[in-house]
Structure 1
Amino acid sequence: MNAPVQIPEGFRQDSKGRLVPEDTIKPIDLVRDESVIDLIGQAKQAQEHLKKFKAIAFAEITAFIDLSLKQFDVHIGGNKGNITLYSFDGKYKIIRQIQDTIRFDERLQAAKILIDECIQSWSVDSNNYLKALILEAFQVDKEGKISTGRVLGLRRHDFDDPKWLKAMDAIAESINIVDSKRYVRFYERDSEGKYQAISLDFANV
C-alpha cells in the first residue's frame, strides 16, 4: 500500500495526482471542492447513523422474539426467519426478513438422475403436466443457472416412490447457503387503511 502523498501548504492535489498551487485554481473550483467534501462528510455521518439504527432495530426485534418465546418455554436456534410485528392499534407494522442466497452442489445431479428414473418408471397414464413441471425445474436460464425456486418446489409433491424420496433427500443435501441478507422494513397505515412504507432510501425520502 502506497504511503499518502504529503501535500505542501498552499497546494491542492488534482484528480491526476498532480500538485497545483491554490492561487492558480479558479475560485469556483475551490467552492465546488468545499461543497462536495462537506456533503460527503454529512453523507458518511448519515450512513453511520443508519447502520447504528439497523443494528438497534434488529437487536430489539430479536429481544422481543426471545421474550415472546419464553412465555411458552420455547427456544429456537440462530436468528433465522421472517416475522411481522404490529403496534397495538395496528397503525404501524415492522417486517423483518432474512433472505438466503443458495446454490446447489453436485448432489443435485444425483437427484435429477433419480427423478428421471421415477418418470420413466411411472405408468403411461401418469399426469403429463406434472412430468413437464418436473423436467422444467432442471432447465437452465440464459446464464446457465438452475432456478432454485423450481427445484425446491419439487419437494412440495408428496410421492411415496422410494426413488423420489431419495431424490428429495439429495436435493436437501445439495443446498449450500452462499450469502444471507437481512432486511427490516417499516410501515404506517394511511387514511384509507393501506400500509405505506416509511422509506429509508435517500432517493425516496
Structure 2
Amino acid sequence: MTAQPIQIPEGFRMDAQGRLVHQDMIKPIDQERDRLVQHLVDRASELSGELADFKAVAFGDIEAFIELSAEQYGAKVGGKKGNVTLFSFDGRYKIVRAVNESIAFDERLQAARGLIDECLRDWTEGARPEVVTLVNDAFRTDTKGEIRTARVLALRRLQIGDERWQRAMQAIGEACQVVGSKSYIRVYERVGDTHQYQPISLDIAAV
C-alpha cells in the first residue's frame, strides 16, 4: 500500500524530526541555509541527469561507430563486450570504452585448495618458500571476507609440473564465474606535444 503524502498547512514547514514549524518561527539563517542546500541539490540533480544522458549517448554512438567500421570490412561485431579506444584525427583526444568484469569462484575452488595443500605437504622439505607464501597469500581473504581473485589466478602462472598442481590449476580456471560487469566511458586530452594523456574528469571530487 502506497503511503499518502503528508499535507503541510500553508505557512508551515516540516523539520528533520517531522514536526510542523510556522515559517515565522524559523530563524533567517536557517532559511538561508535551506535555500542554499535546495539550490545546490537541484543543480546537482540536473548535472547527474546530464551525465546519465551523456553516458547513454556516448555508449550508443561508440557502438554505432564500431558497427560502421566493421561494415567497411564486411566483419560482424560480436556483442557489446570489450574495451575500445578511439582517437581524434589529430591525436589530441582519446575516448576509452572500458568494460570491467566482476569474477567470483564457485565450490570448485575448495577442490583446488585441497590439491594444492596436498602438494605443499609433500613438498615440505624441498618446497620453495616463495611458493608457499604465494599460495597462503592467495587464499587469504580481504577485509570483507572475500577471496582476492587476482592473486588466486596469479597461481596459474607458476610453472609447476606436479600432476596434482596441474589439476588444481584446471579447477581454478573452471571455478571462475563472471558475476557481473560495469561499463565506463573515459575521456582524455593529450598533454602538450607529449605522448601522455590526462583524463578530462567527470568526477566532481576530481575537478
TM range (shorter): 0.7 to 0.9
Matched residue type, 1:15: A
Q: What is the SS of the residue equivalent to 1:45?
A: helix
Structure 2 distance, partners of 1:166, 1:74, is 38
Which residue of 2 is the match for residue 25 of structure 1? 26
State the aligned residue count.
205
- Please tell me the root mean square deviation across aligned C-alpha atoms, in Å: 2.8
Please give the residue correspondences for 1:35-114 in structure 2 after superposition, counting only pairs within 5 Å: 35-114=36-115
- Shift in Å, 1:159: 5.7
Secondary structure of 2:201's partner?
Answer: coil
Residue 201 of structure 2: aligned partner: 199
Percent of matched pairs sharing the same residue: 50
1:53-202 equivalences under 5 Å are 53-118=54-119, 129-130=130-131, 132-157=133-158, 162-193=163-194, 194-202=196-204
By how many angstroms is 1:66 displaced?
A: 2.5
Which shifted more, 185-194 or 60-69? 60-69
Deviations 1:113-156 (A, max 9, x none): 2334455677x777664455345422334544322111112333
Change (3 A) 1:204 1:126: closer
Change (3 A) 1:138 1:186: same
Unaligned runs of at least 5 residues, structure 2:
none
Deviation of 1:26 (Å): 2.4
Deviation (angstroms), 1:162:
4.8
> What is the SS of the residue equivalent to 2:68?
helix
What secondary structure sits across from 1:178 in the alignment?
Answer: strand
Inter-CA distance 54–118: structure 2 relative to 1 (3 Å threshold): same
For 1:59, the aligned partner's letter is: G
TM-score (norm 2): 0.82
C-alpha distance in 1 between matches for 2:180 and 2:72: 32
Q: Name whichever of 128-137 and 84-93 sits farther off.
A: 128-137
Tell me which residue corresponds to 1:4.
5
**In 2: Cα distance, 1:132 partner to 1:15 partner:** 54
Alignment-mate amino acid for residue 183 of structure 1: Y
